[in-house]
Structure 1
Amino acid sequence: MKPMWTFPVLMTLAACAASMPNGSEVVEPGILKEVPDSVRMLAAPGQDLSTVKIAPEDGCFYYLWNGPVESTFLPLRTAQGNPICTRTEG
C-alpha cells in the first residue's frame, strides 16, 4: 500500500512542468496570469475564470471551483460539455 501523500506530491510536481501556450504568463506554478480570449469565448457560463491552469498530463484547462467545504480544480468545459484543451489526443 502506497502512502496517501504520494498522489498530491506527484500532482504538485507535475503542475510545475506544465507547458503554457505562447503569450500566456504564469502567476504561480501552473496558474495562468491571463486566460486567452479564445478560451474565454469557448468556456460555458458559470465557470470562474479568475484561477485557471493547464494540466500537463492532458493539456486541458482547469478552473478553481470554490465549494462550501473545499476548493478543487475542475475541467473547463464548453457550453456543449466538451473539455477545452491545448492539444488533441492521438
Structure 2
Amino acid sequence: MKKQFSVIVIMAQLLGACTTQVGMLGDADDKNGEAEIPEAVIQLAASNQNVHSARMQPDGCYWYEYSGPVETTLLPLLTADGKRICGQAGAGETTPGYST
C-alpha cells in the first residue's frame, strides 16, 4: 500500500511539472510571448521599469511586470514625470507620438 501511494505522489509531481504557466498578462496580442512595443513607448518610459515586459491592457494603457522579492505583479508604465503611458488619450496620461 505504501509503495502504491508513493508511485501516485511521484506521478502527480511529474504531471504538475509538465504544465505550462499562464502569464498574468494574457497572450491575445503576443507572438511567441513577445508583443511589439512601439519605440515611442520605450523612449517615454522612466528608466527604472522593465519596458520589455510591457503590454497594453484593456484599459488602453501599458503595464509592465515588476518582479519583487515575493511575487511578480503588474504596475502601470510611467513616464519620468509620473504620467501613465497609454495608447489612447486620457486625463493625466501620455499618448505616444502626441504631446500633452
Structure 2: runs of 5 or more not aligned: 1-23, 92-100
Whether the 8 Å contact between 1:32 and 1:53 is mirrored in structure 2 is no
For residue 88 of structure 1, report the CA deviation from its aligned partner. 1.8
For residue 89 of structure 1, report the CA deviation from its aligned partner. 3.3
For residue 16 of structure 1, report the CA deviation from its aligned partner. 6.2
Residue 31 (structure 2) pairs with residue 27 (structure 1)? yes
Map residues 12-23 of structure 1 onto 2, 5 A cutoff.
none
Report the equivalent of 2:47: 45
Percent sequence identity is: 39
Whether the 8 Å contact between 1:32 and 1:52 is mirrored in structure 2 is no
Structure 1 residue ranges, 4+ long, deviating more than 6 angstroms after superposition = none
Whether the 8 Å contact between 2:77 and 2:85 is mirrored in structure 1 is yes
Give the counterpart letter for 2:83 in structure 1: N
Structure 1: runs of 5 or more not aligned: 1-11, 21-25
Whether the 8 Å contact between 2:35 and 2:55 is mirrored in structure 1 is no
SS of the residue corresponding to residue 41 of structure 2 reads helix
For residue 27 of structure 1, report the CA deviation from its aligned partner. 3.1
Report the equivalent of 2:73: 72
The higher-RCO structure (CA 8 Å, 6+ apart) is 1
Whether the 8 Å contact between 1:48 and 1:64 is mirrored in structure 2 is yes
Instruction: State TM-score, norm by structure 2.
Output: 0.57
For residue 63 of structure 1, report the CA deviation from its aligned partner. 0.5
Higher relative helix content: 2
| Rg (Cα) greater in structure | 2
CA-atom RMSD, angstroms? Answer: 2.5
